[in-house]
């Protein structure tokens, strides 16, 4: 079964990003791993929900830099008629401000923050590449846990103290309750999609999706891209120095 995630680069190329703004209220509402009891999500965003869009280009989906999503009234209406599964609730956004708005002061649509179901799924380890800690600037001083967070086959299969640097991953369901838009235990801050959801989104021209999605096996963590871009830059500089006779 093919799954998708959002491309983690160039979110703001076409449609607006959003940031939550004051007043920002949240409450403790922990989500626990049912296998080991570890807290995976600590808090829940509550009303009044206020956001600022980065530009007056209003998509049916607006993202922020940690892969949260708000969706338009049009998205909500189409989804509720679709038979798709995975969204627990649509929570109204109380205030929407817009940066760089035009002189005409374009009015954004009604937006909703979506709460997603947690899929009973794990990484498909045969399709998942977890790079060593040496590749991850967040883990360069960490070793495999031997006294902190314990290895858990459900939420922490790689036994690291922070989210592993992934270069492509697969998803394997542990039951037959397949969802079309969801979180799952090792990646609770990311949104994932079934093929059915992607087909629906493209068929209904859900804006800010075309060109923004990728197969999970093709996903590159930003650390991986940054590392490869740095390596390519250094290699190009080395070749130029060789051409100039500066290196032997």
pLDDT for residue 162: 53
pLDDT the model gives residue 152: 83
What is the token pair recorded at 104? 């005409």
The answer on pLDDT for 135 being more than 60 is no
Mean pLDDT in residue range 164-183: 90
Question: Which of 222 and 186 is assigned the larger pLDDT?
Answer: 186
Which pLDDT tens digit goes with each residue over 198-208? 999 999 999 87
Q: Which residue has the higher pLDDT, 3 or 37?
A: 3
In the chain, the percentage of residues whose pLDDT exceeds 70 is 78
Provide the domain limits for residue 208: 3-243
Asked whether 76 and 191 are in contact (CB, 8 A), the reply is no
Nearest CA-CA partner of 108 in 119, 93, 123: 93
Residue 198, pLDDT score = 95
Q: Is residue 130 part of a domain?
A: yes
103 in a domain, yes or no?
A: yes
Q: In which band, very low, low, confident or very high, does the pLDDT at 159 lie, cut at 50, 70 and 90?
A: low
* DSSP H or E stretch at residue 29: strand 25-32
Residue 183: φ, ψ to 5°: -100, 165
Domain-embedded: residue 162: yes
Q: How far is CA 226 from CA 5, 66, 229, 230, in A?
A: 19, 17, 5, 6
Provide the pLDDT for residue 143.
Answer: 47
pLDDT of 146: 45
Nearest to 7 by CA among 172, 208, 183, 181: 208
The C-alpha atoms of residue 235 and residue 229 are separated, in whole angstroms, by: 10
Token pair 């937006």 is found at 111
pLDDT band at residue 242 under the 50/70/90 scheme: confident
Total domains in the chain come to 1
156 phi, psi to nearest 5 deg: -145, 60
* Amino acid 160: pLDDT: 57
Tokens 């998708």, located at residue: 4
Mean pLDDT for the chain?
83
Residue 162 in tokens: 């922070």
The radius of gyration computed from the CA coordinates of the chain, to the nearest angstrom, equals 20
Asked whether the predicted pLDDT for residue 156 surpasses 50, the reply is: yes
- Summarize the confidence of residues 10-17 as an average pLDDT: 71
Per-residue pLDDT tens over the stretch 35-76:
988 888 889 999 999 999 988 989 999 988 666 789 999 999
pLDDT of residue 145: 45
In a domain, 248, yes or no: no
């Amino acid at each position: 079964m093919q799954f998708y995630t959002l491309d983690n680069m160039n979110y703001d190329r076409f449609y607006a990003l959003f940031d939550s703004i004051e007043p920002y209220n949240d409450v403790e509402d922990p989500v626990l791993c049912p296998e080991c009891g570890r807290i995976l999500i600590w808090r829940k965003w509550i009303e009044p929900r206020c956001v600022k869009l980065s530009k007056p280009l209003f998509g049916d989906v607006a993202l922020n830099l940690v892969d949260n999503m708000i969706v338009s009234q049009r998205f909500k209406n189409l989804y509720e008629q679709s038979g798709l599964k995975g969204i627990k609730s649509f929570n109204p956004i109380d205030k929407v401000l817009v940066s760089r708005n035009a002189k005409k002061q374009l009015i954004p649509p009604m937006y909703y923050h979506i709460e997603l179901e947690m899929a009973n799924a794990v990484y498909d380890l045969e399709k998942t590449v977890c790079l060593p800690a040496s590749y991850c600037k967040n883990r360069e001083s960490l070793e495999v846990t031997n006294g902190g967070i314990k290895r858990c086959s459900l939420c922490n299969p790689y036994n690291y103290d922070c989210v592993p640097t992934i270069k492509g991953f697969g998803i394997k369901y542990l039951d037959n309750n397949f969802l079309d838009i969801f979180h799952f235990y090792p990646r609770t801050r990311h949104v994932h999609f079934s093929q059915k959801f992607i087909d629906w989104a493209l068929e209904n021209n859900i804006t800010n999706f075309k060109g923004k999605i990728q197969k999970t096996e093709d996903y590159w963590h930003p650390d991986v891209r940054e590392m490869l871009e740095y390596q390519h830059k250094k290699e190009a500089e080395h070749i130029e120095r060789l051409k100039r006779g500066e290196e032997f």
